[in-house]
Structure 1
Amino acid sequence: MALIRCPSCNKRTSDKAKQCSHCDYVLAGRSKEELSREKERAQQRKKEKLLSQSMLALLIAIAAFAYIFLEQPHEDSWYAKISYSLLFLGLLWFLVNRVRLLMNKRER
């Protein structure tokens, strides 16, 4: 009995199993072509999820920057601290997701 990667969720499951124990994807009776197609779909879903998260992070960073630029809160106020924190976190989240997208592309 060997462990294989499920083409749908990419988690390890038994090669004797009829379906994946994690996502219930039916493995039995599938051709290699169907399995590879499902693997490509799973990778595409992951890419789309990472792109959505990147855009959300960028939106947060832009909104924080716009607030700082337009309102110009006093440096010691909690509004300014929250705005700077959101700007930093949004940009950091964006960069992390971009690196994850590059790593996802290399896996193919």
Structure 2
Amino acid sequence: MALAQCPSCNKRVSSKAKECPHCHFVFAGQSEEDLQREFIRLQQEKKDKLLSRSMLALLLAIAAFVYLFLQQPLPDSWQYNTAIGVMIVGLLWFIINRVQMLFIKRKRR
């Protein structure tokens, strides 16, 4: 009995199983093409989620920058420090999401 990955949830299941015990994806009657299509759909769904998160992170960083530019709070005030912190967090979050997207693109079956 060999272990295989479920194309829907990517968890390890028995190759003789008729359905995934984790997500209940049915293997019986599925061709290799159907399994590949499900894997591609799952990858696209992950990419879409990461893209949405990266745009939210970029929006957060831009909003903090615009606040700094328009309001021009005094250095060492809590408004200035908060805006700088939000801008840094937004940019780091954006970079992390983009790196994750690169790993998803490189990941092949």
User: Which TM-score bucket, shorter chain as reference?
Assistant: over 0.9
- Which runs of 4 or more aligned residues in structure 1 lie more than 2 Å from their structure 2 counterparts after TM superposition? none
Deviation digits for residues 21-80 of structure 1 (CA, Å, limit 9, x no counterpart): 222211222111100110110111111111111101101100111111111112222222
**Aligned alpha-carbon RMSD (Å):** 1.2
Report the equivalent of 1:49.
49
* Separation (CA, whole Å) in 2 of partners of 1:17 and 1:77: 62
Identity over the aligned pairs, expressed in percent? 60
Between 1:85-94 and 1:6-15, the stretch displaced more is 6-15
Partner of 2:106: 106
Greater shift after overlay, 15-24 or 66-75?
15-24
Aligned residue number for residue 36 of structure 1: 36
What CA distance in whole angstroms lies between the structure 2 residues aligned with 1:97 and 1:22?
A: 27
Deviates more, 1:6-15 or 1:39-48: 6-15
Q: TM-score, length-normalised on structure 2?
A: 0.91
Counterpart position of 1:18: 18
SS in 2 for 1:16: coil
Alpha-carbon deviation of 1:86?
A: 0.8
Give structure 2 stretches of 5+ with no counterpart.
none
Stretches of structure 1 that go unaligned for 5 or more consecutive residues are: none
